[in-house]
Amino acid sequence: MGDRIVGSKKSKMIRKISFFIIIIFILVVVLFPFVWMLLASFKKNADILNVDKMFDFIPTLKNYISVFIDYSFLKPIFNSFLISFAATVIALFLGLPAAYAIGRARMHLFSGIILMIRIVPAISFLVPWYLIFTKLKLTGTYTSLIVCHLIVSLPMIIWIMMPYFESIPKELEEAAKIDGASNFGTFMKIMIPLSTPGVLTSGILTFIFSWNNFMFALILCSSKTTTLPIAIYQFISYSNVDWGGIMAASVVITLPIILISFFLQRHIITGLTAGAVKG
């Protein structure tokens, strides 16, 4: 009996140790590129390409100064924030009522269409959008970029929010209507507050998508509407690559997303899972 207890404790200890080893390995694999990028942003180009200077180097802020002064990175930051914020707000404004209507009315056909749009690669819409915006003389404008982002973000918001609205008991809406609330009032005062985690999650994911989007901006933006992913191209010339500048610019691009994901991860996880359980 004693041998079984000792053997059971040993097996539990081995499983715990194995689990922590796997977690540490995954963390190293995931975090190493970010750590290397952060360290490289404080190095000279010669030190970045020198393996012996991985940790032993003299840090410098020259790359960050070059990013904001020589490459005028403030304008792309403003463009990315404006486009991401506008696309997120418009997608929420249109997507939340659509998700509520589809979820409450059990519009399975529309939900299937939304799923098909989510499955289709976003790049397949690029050529038709380019032709349309060229005819309308909207290429290189904020409008064209925001509308293109809606093609992906709007179905995502609808798909995330439909289970949320379906999981809220209809009795709450009926009680609000008995008290004299209109359909719009019920939606704004009952459904939206109860679905706050889902609204935050869909909004955060939409903003992240717009912030990181490269393909739409590559085709549709101009010098006045250049976004951050496109601005990195400035560091690559015919005969030279400014690796230090690229690393510093990459830190500038990814830092807001990392901070948003870190501080709001609880809301993101809650938003992605809570709507799956119907009450």
Mean pLDDT calculated for residue range 74-79: 90
Q: Quick check: 150 pLDDT over 90?
A: no
Mean pLDDT across 270-276: 57
Can you give the residue ranges of every domain in the chain?
2-61, 63-274
For 82-113, how does the pLDDT look when each residue is reduced to its tens digit (9 = 90+)? 999 999 999 999 989 988 888 777 776 776 77
Give CA separation, 102 vs 109, 120, 158, in Å. Answer: 9, 20, 9
Query: What are the b/e assignments for 128-167, b being 16+ CB within 10 Å?
Result: ebbeebeeeebbbbbbbbbbbbbbbbbbbbbbbbbbbbbb
Instruction: Round to whole Å and give the CA distance between 63 and 43.
Output: 8
pTM of the predicted protein model: 0.81
- What is the CATH number that goes with domain 63-274? 1.10.3720.10
Q: State the DSSP code for 50.
A: -
Number of other residues whose CB lies within 10 A of the CB of residue 123: 10
**Residue 91's pLDDT is what?**
92
For residue 241, what are the β-bridge partners? 236
Average pLDDT for 143-162: 87
pLDDT mean over 186-214? 86
226-256 confidence digits (pLDDT tens): 898 888 887 887 778 888 888 998 898 888 8
The answer to whether residue 6 scores a pLDDT higher than 60 is: no
